[in-house]
């Protein structure tokens, strides 16, 4: 079955960096668009970034643009999120999510279990 397993979360100081990874299995990873979505403690969902199946098309939310970098390695069935210049407001559970794009819309299914990133001094 489809499995998405995130890793790399943890405690980091403001201004620091962290790299999240997502290991995918149970499907042909290279055929699918992928995204990162985050959820601050007790808060709602916030889309962070999107990458096309080949990696040629990438988008970011304004809140992370210039600080975060999404990438993928289709040979390793892996998705990454490099996070630099981290701020307290980046504290959240980060989900790796398979993204379905159809005509002019897109949705997220399925989701990994998430990895917690805490930015604090």
Partner 1 sequence: SYVLTQPPSVSVAPGQTARITCGGNNIGSKSVHWYQQKPGQAPVLVVYDDSDRPSGIPERFSGSNSGNTATLTISRVEAGDEADYYCQVWDSSSDLNVVFGGGTKLTVL
Please say which residue, 56 or 102, places its beta carbon nearer to partner 1. Answer: 102
Cβ within 8 Å of residue 119, ≥6 positions away: 12, 13, 14, 16, 86, 87, 88, 89, 90, 91
Select from 9-17, 73-81, 84-92, 111-119 the region that touches partner 1 (CB under 8 A).
111-119
Nearer Cβ to partner 1 (14/107)? 107
Taking CB under 8 A as the rule, does residue 108 contact partner 1?
Answer: yes
Which residue number, 105 or 121, has a Cβ lying nearer to partner 1? 105
Strands (E), 1-121: 3-7, 10-12, 18-25, 33-39, 45-51, 58-60, 68-73, 78-83, 92-102, 105-111, 115-119
Query: What part of residues 25-44 is at the interface with partner 1 (CB under 8 A)?
Result: 35, 44
95 binds partner 1 (CB under 8 A): yes
- Which stretches of 26-117 are DSSP H helices? none
Residues near partner 1 (CB under 8 A) are 35, 44-47, 50, 59, 61, 95, 100, 102, 104-114
């Amino acid at each position: 079955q489809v499995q998405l397993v995130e890793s790399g979360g943890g405690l980091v100081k403001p201004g620091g960096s962290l790299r999240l990874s997502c290991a995918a299995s149970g499907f042909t990873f290279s055929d699918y668009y992928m995204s990162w979505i985050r959820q601050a403690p007790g808060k709602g969902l916030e889309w962070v970034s999107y990458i096309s199946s080949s990696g040629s098309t990438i988008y970011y939310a304004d809140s992370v643009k210039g600080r975060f970098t999404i990438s993928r390695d289709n040979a390793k069935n892996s998705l990454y999120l490099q996070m630099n210049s981290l701020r307290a407001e980046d504290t959240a559970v980060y989900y790796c999510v398979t993204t379905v794009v159809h005509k002019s819309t897109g949705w997220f299914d399925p989701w990994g279990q998430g990895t917690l990133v805490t930015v604090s001094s």
